[in-house]
């Protein structure tokens, strides 16, 4: 009796089917193409005033740039403190022509009714559609000073816009601390009011502690 182990294994190998595998497709290669773009400048206009604050009756000089060459520019000044904002000053609206470089200089008068208000100048190019804004105020200049009598008085005595302390003053009980207020930008002949508020405490503590005179 003969055994055929090798034949049996050969038969098993020959009858074993392998799973069908589809041939893989080659993925197409991607090409990255870079192009250098031309330099482009986005047009922009600007507006600036010669000061940030004006007194009643003062003339503001307004400079514009970045507009189209020789175009007409619509101008207006708005009172932002009004609700809603309204045109203000003299003139409230006007036009100006830019030069060949797109620049212009114009003027506007701050009237007395705008005292203490916040204002804005608006410029709009008729042909280009470019716009620009400048902000300024018609405020009152107020400065409040107190008198430091020196240490010891009158050494180094002076008006100052700051705190009084042991390094610059020696005030005793019964003495008076002088204050000085300076106002600028008021209208001649007009009536103005001053409201004085005072508080001797800071964070629930006495901010002024009098010292008894030495005997």
- Dist CA 12 CA 9 (whole Å): 5
* H or E stretch covering 11: helix 5-15
- Distances from the Cα of 47 to the Cα of 32, 38, 53, 86, 137, angstroms: 44, 29, 15, 20, 15
pLDDT given at position 182:
83
Query: Domain containing 76: what range?
Result: 46-138
Residue 201 lies in a domain: no
DSSP characters over 84-152: S-EE-SBSSEEEEE--TTS-EEEEEEPPGGGTTEEEEEEEEETTT--EEEEEEEEPPEEEEEEEE--SS
Mean pLDDT, to the nearest integer, of 164-168? 86
Please indicate whether residue 87 or residue 55 has the higher confidence score (pLDDT).
Answer: 87
pLDDT given at position 68:
96
pLDDT in tens, 63-101: 999 999 999 999 999 999 999 999 999 999 999 999 999
Determine contact, residues 175/212, Cβ cutoff 8 Å: no
Which has the closest alpha carbon to 170: 215, 201, 213?
Answer: 213
CATH number assigned to the domain comprising residue 115:
2.60.40.230
**How many domains in the chain?**
2
Which has the closest alpha carbon to 97: 123, 61, 133, 59?
Answer: 123
pLDDT given at position 18:
63
Which has the closest alpha carbon to 106: 59, 145, 43, 176?
Answer: 59
Claim to verify: residue 159 and residue 116 sit in the same structural domain: no
Residue 39 lies in a domain: no
Claim to verify: residue 110 and residue 54 sit in the same structural domain: yes
pLDDT in tens, 29-41: 777 777 777 666 6
């Amino acid at each position: 009796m003969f055994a055929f182990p090798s034949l049996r294994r050969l038969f098993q190998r020959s009858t074993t089917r392998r799973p069908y595998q589809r041939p893989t497709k080659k993925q197409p290669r991607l090409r990255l193409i870079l192009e250098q773009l031309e330099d482009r400048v986005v047009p922009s206009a600007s507006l600036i005033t010669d000061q940030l604050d004006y007194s009643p009756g003062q003339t503001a000089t307004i400079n514009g740039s970045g507009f189209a060459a020789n175009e007409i520019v619509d101008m207006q000044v708005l009172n932002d403190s009004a609700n809603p904002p309204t045109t203000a000053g003299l003139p409230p609206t006007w036009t100006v022509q830019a030069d060949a470089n797109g620049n212009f200089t114009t003027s506007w008068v701050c009237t007395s009714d705008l005292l203490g208000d916040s204002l804005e100048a608006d410029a709009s190019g008729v042909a280009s559609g470019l716009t620009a804004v400048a902000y300024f105020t018609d405020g009152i200049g107020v400065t409040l000073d107190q008198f430091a009598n020196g240490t010891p008085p009158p050494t180094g005595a002076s008006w100052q816009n700051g705190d009084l302390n042991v390094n610059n003053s020696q005030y005793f009980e019964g003495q008076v601390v002088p204050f000085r207020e300076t106002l600028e930008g008021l209208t001649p002949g007009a009536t103005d009011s001053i409201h004085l508020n005072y508080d001797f405490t800071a964070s629930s503590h006495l901010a002024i502690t009098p010292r008894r005179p030495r005997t």
